[in-house]
Amino acid sequence: MTPLERWFEAQQWSPFGFQREVWDAYARGESGLIHAATGTGKTYAAWLGPVREALESTMADRIEPLRVIWLTPLRALAADTERALRAPIDALGVPWTVESRTGDTKASVRARQRDRMPSALITTPESLTLLLCRDDHHERFASLRAVIVDEWHELLSTKRGAQTELALARLRAIVPDVRVWGLSATLGNLEVARDTLMGVTADGTPRPGRLVRGLVPKEIEVESLVPEEMDRFPWAGHLNVKMLPQVLDRLAGATSAIVFTNTRSQCELWFQSICAARPDWFEFTALHHGSLDVDERRAVEDGLRSGRFRIVVATSSLDLGVDFAPVDLVLQVGSPKGVARLLQRAGRSGHSPGRTSRIVCVPTHALELVEVSAARDAMRANAIEARDPVDRPLDLLVQHLVTLALGGGFTRESALAELRTTRAYAALTDEELGWALDFTTHGGAALAAYPEYARLVCGDDGVYRVTNAQVARRHVLNIGTIVSDTSIAVRWLSGGRLGSVEESFIARLTPGDVFLFSGRALEFVRVRDLTAWVRKAKSKVQAIPRWQGARMPLSTELAAAVRETLDAARAGRYDTPELRAVRPILSLQAERSCIPAPHELLIERCETRDGHHLFVYPFEGRLVHEGLAALFAYRIAQIGPISFTFACNDYGFELLAPERAPLEEALEAGLLSSQHLLHDITHSLNAAELARRQFREIARVAGLVFTGYPGQQKSLKHVQASSGLLYDVFARYDPDNLLLRQAQREVLERQLEASRLGRVLTRLAGSTVRLLNLDRPTPLAFPLLVDRTRGKISTEKLADRVRRMAAQLERRTPSRVRARPTP
Amino acid sequence: MSATHTTASVPVHMHGQHLVLHAERALELPSARALIVADLHWGKATALRALGVPLPSGGTAQDLQRLEAVLARTNARELWILGDLAHSRHGWDERALVPVHAWRARWPSLAITLVRGNHDRHAGDPPASLGITCVDGPYVQHELALTHEPMSGGGAALHVCGHLHPTTRLAGRGRDRVRLPCFVQGPHYLILPAFSSFTGAGAWVPSPGERAFGVVDDAIVPLPPV
């Protein structure tokens, strides 16, 4: 028996077949991707290969140099990962050190690591990229044997995934035979996920990699808490706790439970509500979300493991990673919005063999019952979402070129060759690289060589380097692709840290206001030095912070399932508990308007005090609706000057105008036609400022806006310009800038799924339009009606719009004395 | 209809003074043949470029054209600048000054006075070649107290300032919304919009007794009093 098997036996485990498969493949020098449900031994499948190798090859008395990099998408996971990786190391006496290096790591530890890397380094894509910015990183990584990318499915379809690919390409350039293993949850496109991680050889073929399937998902049961009085249950809005009594009943019967929520606001609200209703539970109830201070989060994770906390209210911050002990009960507040997420969260319960995982969904508004019912069907049909990797993001390329320049410099040829070994940049053209180099050396064609602007300088030897220390400093602080508002630390007046909230939330508070954060009612005292100072509140809570971040859209797979579920309801088949519960609402929809059949497109028209509304229901998911709304608005507005605002959700979209829109005329003129689609959609994107919005992320990643130095005492306002302002300047003076085109392309491809939009239009063009004039909004219309997040599109002159608004304002103003009567 | 009526300029009478608001974001005092502007922030793009932000050029030239348009229309002899003429010392870089010198050469007899603002104190005074007189506020001219930042008193019945970059939000039927730079008229003061088009919204919050005049394209839209 090998030492490893003895250790397993001591833990009263026996290795699974897939774990042995990975260890043997690793020993043969292979790379690959392991996919399995959460908590089924993926970690040790990947980790023990390198450990076994170390046992066989190292001297016990010498600490080993850097051998393994363990990449994790969430720095919050680093501590748990460290613990899990250490256990076999310590037990088997492997002379390895295991340390984390993330944004949370202390400066003293980082300094020590600068002199000597641990044998196994647990880090994030951003922190790894930072290490690549050091000009001696070659020596640092020369002894590396393996990179393990945890939760690869989380990174895959994001720019962070592309950043990981770039870092891997760099490491492969230093250690050509480095082995790369990914860990992933089940996805609809696992081969693509593997190939993306493996990268591409010089001749353009994917590098080989093994796809290892872990344990088959357990039996999963999806249940819903059903409102007792459906007529009192809200039609929209996710911030209500109507279902609290039933949730408390369930929690009372559980020894341990996680209450998953979709947003941090929901998390705060439910924690507060549970504790207010059951003060006796306070000491074993905790909350966990990404804006809380890291120590607080760790205490909660430890408490969940040790049993000190029985109930944890969490966001996706607890979705990932670490195998803490399974809980009895998993509750999901709101729709899970995707099949994979439902499976993953359900997987947190009932780990012991043969036990069923169970998830109890808690609707926050009526139509979420439809989504839960549809999600269950999609899960049974195994319709798990695919995640597509990112293609050639130029903003990240610009960032990475500076990284390469800092990390010892590069030539154009070496950079192109290395970049093309990633799947993300395999198709990068020499022209695109040339543009990115121009852009970083002198700002591109439109900037006629400004000497004061030069991030990179190309030497006589053809090597690009960074020569300006300020550029280097800014770059290092700006690395990464996660975009967020300026965050403001929240601290007690006495000094303790609570976490952080976004500046925009704090800006709306005045001293004395009370808000809910970190599970406590806090009185806002003042803002100073980028910190919101608070004390314990005596009065009642008035506000819950809302953190920015896209609302989770319904996945394509789940949207399709929702259409089928609604069709069943239309045909009178109410055969799940959720559908039976939501029946009164759907009947009301049928009575006031209709539930459209699959071959019908329902459009509802009505007028309210706000203006003239059109509600259109393709049931294709929010992303497609955003594109359709812009396209509809654009095409209708071609008939005559009109201004629209629009709102979208997963079921449809609303167009709202001050005047009645010429819909019939537009339908006649080809509103649903897929002719000139690319032209019309491109113009509507610009008109609706969707590309301008997308530019925020691109500007940040490409280093055009700077988020500031950590611990900066003063605001950097004087050297900042908002991305919107930058977009306008570029659009006006440098319209061919590729970053602008990238913004457009990202909206087209990723946000709007242009090809899907074409298919949807073809479907809609072949369907029967049912245009109904209504005197009041329907249950389907209501959530759109109250949605305050709106896009806008207009073919009126700005001055005309302003004149109309000013006139309305004048009418609304009571007949007070006006400043000066005019003739 | 008073509010729907928009023009390129709007006359305002305050404390016995006759003033004209211009859509070019400038204030005219006809009796002195003077034009008043604030917050030009010359060289902001240059300052950003120096920090590695690859901004295309052209903004300053565009702003100068607007300034010429209103100078020509009002036939002003004096130009009073209420601070933040330069965004940073980069405003006085040789390259940034090229279009400025060309503009100055076309208006040789215009008397220019700069009332220093917070940015000017860091940027330093403009080079002598531009022929700009620099003073600290309040600068009292024709019963007007001119400063960069808002202040009380100042030695005249009417006080004119900049600094705040005021903007106003408008909302209308159909949930239409826009944000416009604006002039702000208070009981005994006027706040000017930032002249620079490369600035964001500032810190002005409407308070009772104030009235905003929005600037949209080439028109001024008087809005009802707060």
**Predicted confidence band of residue A598 (pLDDT cuts 50, 70, 90):** confident
When the candidates are 3.40.50.1220, 3.40.50.2300, 3.40.50.300, 3.40.50.150, the CATH number that belongs to A220-380 is: 3.40.50.300
Cα B173 to Cα A3, A400, A774, A808, A813: the distances in Å are 75, 46, 19, 8, 15
pLDDT of the residue at B8 = 87
Could you tell me which of A230, A507, A171 has the C-alpha nearest to residue A368?
A230
pLDDT tens profile A399-454? 999 999 999 999 999 999 999 999 999 999 998 898 889 888 876 655 554 555 67
pLDDT of the residue at A444 = 63
pLDDT of the residue at A445 = 57
Pair of tokens at residue A252: 């009372």
**A54 pLDDT above the threshold of 50:** yes
- Say which residues have a Cβ less than 8 Å from residue A679's Cβ, sequence separation at least 6: none
pLDDT of the residue at B21 = 96
pLDDT tens profile B52-100? 666 776 677 889 999 999 999 999 999 999 999 998 888 888 878 888 9
A163 CB-side CA count, 13 A: 28
CB contact under 8 A, A610 and B225: no
- Residue B48 forms contact with A (CB below 8 Å): yes
Name the amino acid, one letter, at A401: L
pLDDT of the residue at A419 = 97
- Top-confidence residue, B130 or A59: B130
Which of A437, A718, A804 best tests the B interface by mutation, with the highest count of B CBs <10 A? A718
**A754 pLDDT above the threshold of 50:** yes
pLDDT of the residue at A776 = 84
pLDDT of the residue at A813 = 47
pLDDT of the residue at A602 = 95
Handedness of CA A492, A493, A495, A499 (dihedral sign): positive
pLDDT of the residue at A190 = 94
- Residue B33 forms contact with A (CB below 8 Å): no
Pair of tokens at residue A304: 């969940």
CB contact under 8 A, B52 and A729: no
**A226 pLDDT above the threshold of 50:** yes
Q: What is the distance, to the nearest Å, from the Cα of residue A712 to the centroid of all Cα atoms in its chain?
A: 27
- A232, β-bridge pairs: none
**A346 pLDDT above the threshold of 60:** yes
Taking CA–CA distances from A731, the nearest residue in chain B reads B56
pLDDT of the residue at A414 = 95
Could you tell me which of A627, A644, A647 has the C-alpha nearest to residue A750?
A627
Q: Which of A447, A658, A813 sits opposite B57 (nearest CB)?
A: A447
Per residue in B87-124, is it b (16+ CB within 10 Å) or e — as a string? bbebbbbeebbebbeebbeebeebebbbbbbebbeebe
Strands B176-185 and B189-191: antiparallel
- Top-confidence residue, A751 or A760: A760
Q: Rounded to the nearest 5°, which phi and psi values hold at A453? A: -105, 115
- A258, β-bridge pairs: A312, A330
Least confident of A234-243, A327-336, B24-33: A234-243
pLDDT of the residue at A673 = 86
pLDDT of the residue at A674 = 78
Average pLDDT rounded to a whole number, residues A505-529: 80
- Top-confidence residue, A798 or A48: A48
Q: Which residue has the tokens 């659009």?
A: A731
pLDDT of the residue at A233 = 73
Average pLDDT rounded to a whole number, residues A800-805: 81
SS (H, E, C) A597-642: CCCEEEEEEEEECCEEEEEEECCCCHHHHHHHHHHHHHHHHCCCCC
**A624 pLDDT above the threshold of 90:** no
Average pLDDT rounded to a whole number, residues A78-90: 88
pLDDT of the residue at A235 = 78
Q: List alpha helices for chain B, DSSP H.
A: 44-50, 59-74, 94-106, 118-123
Cis status of the peptide bond prior to A783, with omega within 30 of 0:
no
- Say which residues have a Cβ less than 8 Å from residue A723's Cβ, sequence separation at least 6: A695, A696, A698, A699, A700, A704, A705
pLDDT of the residue at B1 = 36
Average pLDDT rounded to a whole number, residues A106-130: 91
- B114, β-bridge pairs: B81, B134
Which of B48, B179, B198 best tests the A interface by mutation, with the highest count of A CBs <10 A? B48
Average pLDDT rounded to a whole number, residues A238-249: 88
Q: Which residues of B touch A645 (CB under 8 A)?
A: 174-177
pLDDT tens profile A684-740? 877 766 677 677 767 767 766 655 544 443 444 444 556 777 777 777 777 777 777
Per-window interface: B 135-174 vs A, CB < 8 A? 170-174
Indicate the average pLDDT of chain A: 83
Least confident of A111-115, A218-222, A385-389, B185-189: A218-222
Strands A653-657 and B176-185: unpaired
Which of A394, A435, A438, A453 best tests the B interface by mutation, with the highest count of B CBs <10 A? A453
CB contact under 8 A, A822 and B2: yes
Average pLDDT rounded to a whole number, residues A280-299: 86
pLDDT of the residue at A463 = 95
**A682 pLDDT above the threshold of 90:** no
**A64 pLDDT above the threshold of 70:** yes
pLDDT of the residue at A714 = 40
**Predicted confidence band of residue A650 (pLDDT cuts 50, 70, 90):** confident
**Predicted confidence band of residue A354 (pLDDT cuts 50, 70, 90):** low
DSSP states of A212-268: EE-PPPPPEEEEE---S-GGGS-SS-S---TTHHHHHHHHHT-SSEEEE-SSHHHHH
**Predicted confidence band of residue A589 (pLDDT cuts 50, 70, 90):** very high
ipTM strictly over 0.90?
Answer: no
Average pLDDT rounded to a whole number, residues A183-205: 91
Contacts 24+ apart (CB under 8 A), A130-133: A130/A476, A130/A479, A131/A101, A132/A167, A132/A170, A132/A403, A132/A404, A132/A407, A133/A403, A133/A406, A133/A407, A133/A472, A133/A475, A133/A476, A133/A479
Q: Which residues of B touch A703 (CB under 8 A)?
A: 52-53
Per-window interface: A 539-568 vs B, CB < 8 A? none
Are domains A3-213 and A220-380 of this chain identical in fold? yes
Instruction: Name the CATH topology of B9-222.
Output: Purple Acid Phosphatase; chain A, domain 2 (3.60.21)
CB contact under 8 A, B224 and A448: no
Least confident of A340-354, A368-382, A474-488, B183-197: A474-488
Average pLDDT rounded to a whole number, residues A228-243: 78
pLDDT of the residue at A777 = 86
Q: Which residues of A touch B44 (CB under 8 A)?
A: 721
**A180 pLDDT above the threshold of 70:** yes
Q: Which residue has the tokens 């088959």?
A: A216
A566 C-beta neighbours (distance < 10 Å), count: 25
Name the amino acid, one letter, at A405: A
CB contact under 8 A, A807 and B1: yes
Closest-CA distance of chain B to residue A808, Å? 7
- Residue A645 forms contact with B (CB below 8 Å): yes
**Predicted confidence band of residue A822 (pLDDT cuts 50, 70, 90):** very low
Q: Which residues of B touch A810 (CB under 8 A)?
A: 1-4, 224
Domain boundary assignment for chain A? 3-213, 220-380, 394-478, 487-536, 593-686+752-805
pLDDT of the residue at A246 = 94
Average pLDDT rounded to a whole number, residues A651-675: 91
pLDDT of the residue at A142 = 95
- Top-confidence residue, A362 or A812: A362
pLDDT tens profile A610-623? 899 999 999 988 87
- Residue A507 forms contact with B (CB below 8 Å): no
Indicate the average pLDDT of chain B: 87
pLDDT of the residue at A689 = 67
- Top-confidence residue, B46 or B146: B146
**A202 pLDDT above the threshold of 50:** yes
CA B135 – CA B145 distance, rounded (Å): 13
**Predicted confidence band of residue A817 (pLDDT cuts 50, 70, 90):** very low
- Top-confidence residue, A246 or A552: A246
**Architecture of the domain made up of A3-213:** 3-Layer(aba) Sandwich (3.40)
Name the strand (E) or helix (H) holding A770.
strand A768-773
